[in-house]
Amino acid sequence: MALRFEVLGRFNRARAARLTLPHFLCETPLFMPVGTQGTIKGLTTNQLEEIGCQIILGNTYHLALRPTSELIDELGGLHKFMNWPRALLTDSGGFQMVSLLHLADITEKGVTFQSPVDGKPMLLTPEESIEIQNRIGADIIMALDDVVKTTITGPRIEEAMYRTLRWIDRCIEAHKRPHEQNLFGIVQGGLDPVLRDICVRGLVDRNLPGYAIGGLAGGEDKDSFWRVVAQCTAALPEDKPRYVMGVGYPLDIVVCSALGADMYDCVYPTRTARFGTALVPEGVLRLKHQAMADDTRPIDPTCACLVCKNYTRAYIHCLVTKDAMGSQLLSYHNLYYMMKLSRNLHSSIVEGRFPEFVCTFLQKMFPKGDVPEWVCNAMEVAGIDISSCCSS
């Protein structure tokens, strides 16, 4: 195992920890920006360090296509290739195949798909996914799982969960660098508590360095979403990191952290920036709106980032969607916001003021007190009294 996970503080289920990885000492809860091709669109690695980014996520599928894992390996691994001194996590490539290639076919052997390069059928097996990730060299690598949308029901969910458990053994067997790279298993099972429980227990029996909760953030209702997270975090080991995949809305991160999750990733903060939307404590600010054209305030007057210190809403409105600089500035601000949120979650738990932090967060986002019912339900289970910020 190439990680250490030390819990520094708790509030009921929420925890703040120090996660020591081969390339960086991280503090959780933490958000990981997605750098598909080994880059966060429009930002340099220096800027990412500057705003406090701890782990970047790379997509195995995209990197294997271009520039290829062999080349990355030859050039000294992804850290060196992209000039990123801190931690990296790579996904298994399975999700991209299912989401990008409508022609993917999953069998016991692996995922068969048509090569986007020449149209020939290709097979990604658990063994090959790990081999590619071993070459790329990230601090955390993900097992290949059988991905099913949560909105699907019936026997396919059960089949995928049991296959995910069979594939984890093939991944463990294929993993050649366990002392330098941490293999995380992924809990599947759709919205079925019985299947989720079987999967959690099977993965915990394998004693992996960390565990991810997969198959969420795919269109299921929020009530089902938080209940799966709550169930999995309650059953996963106390002394290992828990990673909720594909979660990037600030509200979801606060709720999942209250329920005992530690790590998150999503394209949302950078993707929404490219559409001209900024993340602010009140929710979002759409810079494309005509009302912004003569607004001389910063995006967020309470934000200390380089963008908020130097540029007005009017200026960014003028750039947005017309000039690459617009999406670069908004991406910088949005990731700064996410890193600050991560730091605030960590420090509020360590300092014993997590409920106050949650209430302040919710009051800014829902000034009328109309906190969604699912958030109220989740916070009740998390043991956090938010009655002061709810009108109902």
Query: Where in the sequence numbering do the catalytic residues fall?
Result: 91, 265
Cα–Cα nearest to 144, from 62, 87, 60 = 60
Closest of 13, 152, 136 to residue 69, by C-alpha: 136
Give the strand pairing for 4-11 and 182-187: unpaired
* Spatial distance between the Cα atoms of 234 and 13, rounded to a whole number of angstroms: 8
What are the Cα distances from residue 210, in Å, to 37, 163, 201, 243?
24, 19, 13, 8
Q: Are strands 277-280 and 263-266 parallel, antiparallel or unpaired?
A: unpaired
Alpha helices in the chain (DSSP H): 45-50, 60-65, 69-74, 78-82, 94-100, 126-136, 155-174, 193-205, 222-235, 250-258, 268-274, 306-310, 313-319, 324-350, 354-365, 373-382
Nearest CA-CA partner of 69 in 87, 85, 93: 93
Using DSSP, state whether 138 is helix, strand or coil.
Answer: coil
DSSP state of 303: -
Give the integer Cα–Cα distance in Å for 140 and 91: 9
- ∠ CA(219), CA(362), CA(190), 5° rounding? 25
> What distances in angstroms separate CA 231 from CA 153, 194, 222, 227, 254, one per listed residue?
19, 10, 14, 6, 17
